[in-house]
Amino acid sequence: MENEKSNILKDFRIQTAEQLNDNGPDIMLHDKEKNKCKIIDVSGPFDGRVIEREEETREMYEDLRREIAKL
């Protein structure tokens, strides 16, 4: 989905200069006006580890966050 203000990408692999294992988030929101991206990972941990899973996900996408910032 795309309009003049934003672009929403689903199941999209992001091409980066450095090869990454985790460069395909579930959803990526690109705010064209602010030139910012949000990486959205959808998960539903059923074992009560919500806070731990959130931190694991942040760490998993940290390299991708840095690569996107370079772009």
Q: What is the pLDDT of residue 51?
A: 83
Q: Work out the angle at residue 66's Cα, subtended by the Cα atoms of residues 12 and 28, and round it to the nearest 5 degrees.
A: 25
In-domain check, residue 1: no
Q: Which domain holds residue 51?
A: 6-70
In-domain check, residue 46: yes
In-domain check, residue 20: yes
Q: Is the pTM of this model over 0.95?
A: no
* Cβ contacts of 17 within 8 Å, gap of 6 or more: 67, 70
- Number of compact structural domains in the chain: 1
pLDDT digits (tens, 9 = 90+) for 22-57: 777 889 899 999 998 888 888 776 777 888 888 888
